[in-house]
Structure 1
């Protein structure tokens, strides 16, 4: 009987496999790459490690800088993502690209204290834990130079997150942690990959309650780049929480798309009412058409900024995107009215359910068509 290739023993090499993989998601942080490598190498003496930079195709040459270092040090690796953006999804891809049994996640802007990494590895092994979290909110930890607004946003998001995961984790918003690979591998297909808070996602989707410990660290001042904590990040965080509460059946983008569509109703009325006041009801048709166009335009730009933040259209793409969005939503409006009228006139349901059915059909149509023709493929930004 012929021996299958898969049955043959793999050749062994002298290079020891990594015990710890450090995942560093990056975007426009080329100036920090050398220092991150230097610091990680300095603190992980005596540990077999690899450092994986996951770069979202930074235009500043971050990937090229990592490649240059990797040619000199095989422990440094690069995952360059083309046309995809997002910290959580970058962390997931990095964690899935290693064979190390332990994985740490830390930022590439040096705000996380890399000197804590050996202690994290020691604790997770000695105490047989699933995950060790670098925490700003336990005794000895701190927020560094964060202003009052950023601190209040973080604490608000932290309180919400604690309710979701049902664990006494003081800093579920931390982006600095060390986890067993088996934990992530067991839940990776349920992770949303939305936004910036991968730690919360792991706790929410783990197969069993996680054994964890928090170690204090103080957030450092940023040495380069700009803060990622803004209103759009908070929006993505709330979307992720919403999806966790309602389940994975409804796509998170559809939730965002629908929420913005609801806001578009207010925009529509805010334009329609003053126009009718000024021009009179005889000008209802032109007022309604103007309000509809303004609401569609508002919805397009909000979706471009928020719902499709990782696929954002820019420059001349905005014009093409706006035209396709308006065209798709115009057909959706006709479908909305047609379905509602059919159900109501045919006596299939009352006015409220008929209108609701029309709205739902229109929303699904608008979302499905614009996802294909407006934001038809991921783009690097």
Structure 2
């Protein structure tokens, strides 16, 4: 026993025989004061430079970086793991089968145990130098959230084109009607806050779309103290912008969910869009086929239901979070249409029977479409 004790003591002396090594071990073991959450998709070329810049800005701060990658095909997650081996304060969460900036930010924030958390993009358009200023404001207890604004004094949007400026102005105007906190840039994706803010709102945030800051503020059950710092938005030099029609749709769906108090969820809005697209195409096609061709009402209704399937699939592709090339789009449509076969046939049969019973073609068509949609519901859930 004495020999064992002596060996343990000697081992400790060998491992920690100088002060610098002990200090380095203590520093590594100390919890982070701030976690920087960086959602990524195809940002392999940017994350190395971004982490280097953050490391310089927060040289005197205990920090960690949480990269939340949505299974990027360019190997962003693998690059992040390689950076972890160089600096253990960098870690990565790789998400498979789900996608979305807001949900990625939520997962990253909730995985942190730091006092403060920050969210920023990986595209180098958010200046890391602002992290120190944001953290100082939070430390002084002056705010619950500090965000970087492109529209306050000292901020700028860089070389944005006119149509994007106009779209941003409209989005800010809509947001101002939904939130009681004055925000010059509610569309900002660069902010820092006390982690406790997310802990209290996690079950109420929508998690849909790209505007997590606005989502958090709308989900809070109390008025948050919000402060802004100016951001000079820079141009993206590597990679491609994530701005798309889906971003706009998700933004609208998120606002509807919050304005309805959760009675109408973002998922409900998307389902309604699919229903409207399918029914509109179905009835428009039916009116054309019934009036311009010699087809029977049953055959016309069946073809109209098939056209509605294509419309639903196309609408879902626009609103979904999946990416696929043109050939994958067509190949994915085939099994979906096959799964909708019973619904397509039911549409034609019900419409034909109702017309034979004396109903007018419009009422019969709507009834047939609804009957077909009921049978297609499972296929829509499974494939879309």
For residues 68 and 114 of structure 1, the distance between their equivalents in structure 2, rounded to whole angstroms, comes to: 21
Unaligned segments of structure 2, at least 5 residues: 1-24, 360-364
Which position in structure 2 is the counterpart of 1:298?
A: 311
Identify which range, 240-249 or 54-63, moves more after superposition.
240-249
Which position in structure 2 is the counterpart of 1:309?
A: 321
Specify the SS of the correspondent of 1:134. Answer: strand
For residues 229 and 288 of structure 2, the distance between their equivalents in structure 1, rounded to whole angstroms, comes to: 57
Displacement, 1:98? Answer: 0.8
* Structure 1 pair 116–88 and aligned structure 2 pair: CA distance change class (3 A): same
For residues 378 and 306 of structure 2, the distance between their equivalents in structure 1, rounded to whole angstroms, comes to: 20
1:203 aligns with 2:213: no
Displacement, 1:229? Answer: 1.6
Which position in structure 2 is the counterpart of 1:59?
A: 73
Which position in structure 1 is the counterpart of 2:6?
A: none
Aligned with residue 300 of structure 2, among 272, 280, 287: 287
* Structure 1 pair 76–154 and aligned structure 2 pair: CA distance change class (3 A): same
Q: Normalising by the residue count of structure 2, what TM-score does the alignment of the two structures yield?
A: 0.82
Kept in 1: contact 2:305–2:369 (CA 8 A) = no
Kept in 1: contact 2:277–2:315 (CA 8 A) = no
User: C-alpha offsets along residues 217-273 of structure 1, whole Å, 9 cap, x if unaligned?
Assistant: 111100211111221110111111111122334442232122232133332233233
Which position in structure 2 is the counterpart of 1:48?
A: 62
Matches within 5 A, 1:80-119: 80-119=94-133
Specify the SS of the correspondent of 1:309. Answer: coil
Kept in 2: contact 1:257–1:303 (CA 8 A) = no
Give the aligned CA root-mean-square deviation in angstroms: 3.1
Displacement, 1:367? Answer: 4.5
1:142 aligns with 2:152: no
Aligned with residue 162 of structure 1, among 165, 173, 176: 176
Aligned with residue 193 of structure 2, among 154, 179, 182: 179
Which position in structure 2 is the counterpart of 1:370?
A: 380
Kept in 1: contact 2:115–2:194 (CA 8 A) = yes
Question: Which protein has the larger Cα radius of gyration, Structure 1 or Structure 2?
Answer: 2
Q: Normalising by the residue count of structure 1, what TM-score does the alignment of the two structures yield?
A: 0.83
Displacement, 1:328? Answer: 6.6
Which structure has the higher relative contact order (CA within 8 Å, separation 6+)?
1
Aligned with residue 39 of structure 2, among 25, 34, 56: 25
For residues 375 and 155 of structure 2, the distance between their equivalents in structure 1, rounded to whole angstroms, comes to: 49
Kept in 2: contact 1:305–1:312 (CA 8 A) = no
Displacement, 1:274? Answer: 3.1
Aligned residues: 349
1:321 aligns with 2:336: yes
Kept in 2: contact 1:332–1:366 (CA 8 A) = no
Specify the SS of the correspondent of 2:91. Answer: strand
For residues 279 and 370 of structure 2, the distance between their equivalents in structure 1, rounded to whole angstroms, comes to: 14
Aligned with residue 240 of structure 2, among 223, 226, 251: 226
Kept in 2: contact 1:260–1:299 (CA 8 A) = yes
Displacement, 1:47? Answer: 0.8
Specify the SS of the correspondent of 1:255. Answer: helix
Kept in 1: contact 2:181–2:226 (CA 8 A) = no
Displacement, 1:99? Answer: 0.5
